[in-house]
Amino acid sequence: MRKLLSAITLIALVIGQISFAATKTAAEAPDLAAIKAETINEDSRYYYPSLLQQFMANDTLMTNEDFQYFYYGTLFQEDYDPYRAPYDEEALKEIEPLYYQSSLTNAQKEQMIDYAMRALRDNPLDLIQLKNLVYAYEQRGKVNLAKIWKNKLNHLLLTIASSGTGLDPENAWYVVYPRHEFDFLNISGKTVQSREFTPPYYEKVSVNAKSEKDPGAYYFNLQPVLEQYYIKHPSEAE
């Protein structure tokens, strides 16, 4: 478990320094109308299936803008479900104990890599499995692959961080899955305490502030998530 926490801490340091700094200088809500138009357009360089193929490749060629279109373009895909269950929950239960072991065999490390990759093929924006994949690659000694996937994880979190400051509802961060509220803050080194829905479509997530200067809570804008959910589940909007 200490090894896992150490790996998570290293990722958090990188992400925390990049993403939270970015919110102070380049925060801007995503243009979701433009992102939708481009990601469903087969002739666009931001066509979602093309971005997905690039994301799953073992390289770091995607730009910041590519990542923004890829992340928020997920909202407009036919199979999008903001409350989708984790991939193969039985397999997940089997593999979870490995993260608490002090030492792992190569076979166990490969098992962790295999599950993480299968989970990412099912949902490429599973931030926790991205983090786990980086850890497993590092433990397996596959340094270059670990760096490639850490780069992808950092860029996804930077995309979220650049969507606002998170300090108030008017500047709330945008996520495409509600669970990303916790994932984003936890991986970025924040300890989540609780969350509270704030009408009409915000969530206030309280964290354990490390100093008096640190905000005690951050805000997320779930309007596009809820809109897409109710489009696909109109009976629940009544």
Ranges of the chain with pLDDT below 70: 1-26, 237-238
Give residue 101's pLDDT. Answer: 87
How far is the C-alpha of 190 from the C-alpha of 200, rounded, in Å? 25
What is the per-residue pLDDT for 19?
45
Q: Give pTM, 2 decimals.
A: 0.89
- Long-range (24+ apart) CB contacts under 8 A made by 179-183 are 180/125, 180/127, 181/205, 181/220, 183/127, 183/128
Helices (H) and strands (E) in the chain, counts: 10, 4
pLDDT at 26 (0 to 100): 66
Split into its structural domains, the chain has a count of 1
Distance set, CA 42 to CA 33, 35, 73, 149, 228 (Å): 16, 13, 13, 27, 21
| Residue 200 dihedral angles phi and psi, to the nearest 5° | -90, -20
Query: Distance of CA 28 to CAs 4, 104, 184, Å?
Result: 33, 43, 17
Handedness of CA 112, 115, 116, 117 (dihedral sign): positive
What is the domain range of residue 78? 2-237
Residue with tokens 């150490």: 6
The helix or strand, by DSSP H or E, that contains position 158, with its residue range, turns out to be helix 143-161
Neighbours of 175 (CB within 10 A): 26
Predicted confidence at residue 37, as pLDDT, reads 98
- Give the model's pLDDT for residue 11: 44
